[in-house]
Each structure stands twice: as structure tokens, then as C-alpha cells.
Amino acid sequence: MPDPFNKFRGTGVAIITPFTKSGTIDFPAYGRIIDFVIAGGVEYIVALGTTGETPTLSGQEKKALIEYSIGKIRKRIPLVIGTGGNNTSEVVSAVKALSPEGIDAILSVSPYYNKPTQEGIYRHFKAVAEASVIPLILYNVPGRTGINLAATTTVRLAKEFSTIIGIKEASGNLDQIYQIVKNRPPGFLVISGDDGLTIPMLSVGADGIISVVANAYPEEFSAMVRLALKGDFIRAREFHFLLIDLINALFADGSPGGIKAVMNKKSLCSDILRLPLVPVKNDTKKLIYKLIDQIEGKK
């Protein structure tokens, strides 16, 4: 398989963006989290994704986070940068502005709000792929974008553009995912976008996960994925069942409020979010803390 396939096979972590009490980016905490997940054994880091609260970041902050991430990671593991939107020309300009030095791939979400047709989505990603010198991973998350990236469109893009190396699939539609795995060209990555569906997806040939819970439990979650990729689902299920209740609780009041509550409990950063997002409700936080104590007691 080509190098990009092997580079992104396994566990990526959709890293959070921690904030200080004054609302600025907490770079020391961000650096601690980078070191923590690398030490935990994840295969790569995804910065400026949904979990990183990217819609609330200014252009200057995004640039600072990219530069900091490159400098902090120091090529210890690959770095993926999220760059997407619903204005194709702006996405193309943003992609052209990225330097391949220190950036291993781009994660680009399907256009949202506009609700384009499948042909519109195809032409959007065609323009982005033709503009980028950095490998591109598509991101399908219809629960957020309002429109699904159909399996036929994904496979069409995968076959026509060598720059497009994979897709993060967060549709929750297992039949759609099966069709992509079945019909994709060799070397095209199918990556889970749902922590809880990682095991089912890997069982039919998917290649890994871009995870939320791996911010807090990188060692356990990446071990689960490696076991599943080797076909050892009996041992992989032990990690799945260790974490699944917490995974479900993380999204009870929206993401990344849940994972920030976990990270705060583990003293890795604060649980401050930027509006319009707010911290999880007290009842949810109590549940999350209870589940963390249960996990720690079983480790």
C-alpha cells in the first residue's frame, strides 16, 4: 500500500483546543495534550477539527495553532489539519495557503448549510483536490452539515483524484460504509468518525478512527484499534466495553463539552468552551466523573 495509507492506518485523535479563563487559547495546556496523546500511542493528530471548536477561532488563531502544532509535534507523528467550508473558492484559497512542511494531510468537511446536490459536492471536492499539493481526507458528517456525502460520490472522487486518499465517515450508516469499503480503489482509507462504531467498521475492513475519546484515553483506545486491525476482536472488545459508556456520555450535551469535562477531571486542561458552546450540565458532569472513576478502577 502507498505511504499515506500506512501513515493514517490506526488511531488519529481529533484534538481539543483548550482555553484560558480569559478566553484565549491555552497553548501550554495544548502542548501537554499533544505530548499526552503521543505518549499514549496514537498514530496521528488532527488539529482544527470539529472537536477543536474551529468555527469559533479567528484566522490568526488558526494560523497560530497550525504553527504551534508543527513545532510541538516535531514530526514525531503525522499531523492532519482541518480545512473546509461551504464557500468553495475560500476553501481552495485556504488549501493553497497551507505549506506541506509539517502537514501530512488535510481533513476537509463536506459543504454544509448550502445543501448542495451530489454533483455539487463532487465539483467542490474536485476543485479542492486539484488545488492541493497535500493529501486530502474527505469528511462526511451529515448530522452537522445537513447533507450526506453518498457512497457513490465518495467512490467516484476516490477513483478520479489521487490527491484524495481517504474519508472520515461519520454518517452512522453502516450500509453506506460497507459500500465504500466494498467499492473503493486500492489504498483508499475508510476512517471511522464515530468512536462507538469503530469496532463494527474495522470488522468489515475500515482502516481506523479519528477519535474524540482518545484525547483522554489514547493508550486504551489506540490499543483497541491495533488489536482489531490484527483481527483480535475478542481482546479489542475488552477496551470497547471499558470505554463505551463514557463515549456515549461524552455526547449527551454535545461535543466537545463532554471530552473537555473529562480532560478537566484528568487535570489536562480547563473545561472552558467558546460560545455558542457551553460546558455540560451538572448531571452529565457527575455521570462522566462517575464513569471515569469506574474506568480508572478497572485499569
Catalytic residues: 139, 168
Q: Up-side HSE of residue 241: CA atoms within 13 Å toward CB? A: 7
Query: Count of CB atoms within 10 A of residue 147's CB?
Result: 18
- 191: β partners: 168, 208
Alpha-carbon Rg for the chain in angstroms: 18
Query: Which set of grid coordinates corresponds to residue 163?
Result: 490527491
- Amino acid in the structure at residue 289: Y
Query: Which set of grid coordinates corresponds to residue 89?
Result: 473558492
Query: Count of CB atoms within 10 A of residue 32's CB?
Result: 17
Query: Which set of grid coordinates corresponds to residue 40?
Result: 499514549
Burial of 113 (0-12, 13-18, 19+ CB in 10 A): exposed
Closest CA to 166 of 177, 156, 158, 174: 158
| Cα–Cα distance, 255 to 25 (Å, whole number) | 18
Angle at 9 between CA 246 and CA 94, to 5 degrees: 90
Closest CA to 183 of 207, 209, 165, 156: 156
